[in-house]
Amino acid sequence: MQTHSLFTDTRRSPYVLLVSYETVQLGLKFEVRLESLTVRDAVIATCPSCHKRFTIAPHTLYARYHPLTPVLTIARDMKCRRCGCSGEFGWYIVRAKGPEYPRPA
């Protein structure tokens, strides 16, 4: 199990929000659709050319794609902000760790 700590930028806020993330497998790569992502998730995409890593919140993807779009298709659509490469990005999904609370239906 791999854990990540994101949002540790203390320049914007005096408070440090330390959130642990773990890699989750939501199914076979070609099966995972945008609608499978929850607010606890983030897509970590890596540029195939310069290997720059991007952390993408699901709500930014929801603004551009249909919920049934496979994440694989979205990864093919990505363009690197650093080098401009638009090949197929490598990606995986991380989920914030924490207690699961029962949610109303």
Sheet harboring 90-96: ordered strands across? 3-6, 19-24, 90-96, 41-46, 53-56
Nearer to Zn ion, 4 or 52 (CB): 52
Residues that contact Zn ion, how many (by CB under 5 A): 8
Please tell me the distance from the alpha carbon of residue 13 to that of residue 8, in angstroms, as a whole number.
Answer: 10
Q: Is 83 in the site for Zn ion (CB under 5 A)?
A: yes
86 sits near Zn ion (criterion: CB under 5 A)? no
| 58 vs 48: CA distance, rounded Å | 21
Asked whether the CA dihedral 95, 42, 71, 60 is positive or negative, the reply is positive
**Choices 5-13, 23-31, 84-92, 95-103; region in contact with Zn ion by CB under 5 A:** 84-92
Does 85 help bind Zn ion (rule: CB under 5 A)?
yes
Choose the binding region for Zn ion from 26-34, 48-56, 62-70, 93-101 (rule: CB under 5 A). Answer: 48-56
Minimum CB separation of residue 51 from Zn ion in Å reads: 7
Q: How far is C-alpha 91 from the chain's CA centre?
A: 8
Stretch that binds Zn ion, among 10-18, 23-31, 79-87, 97-105 (CB under 5 A): 79-87
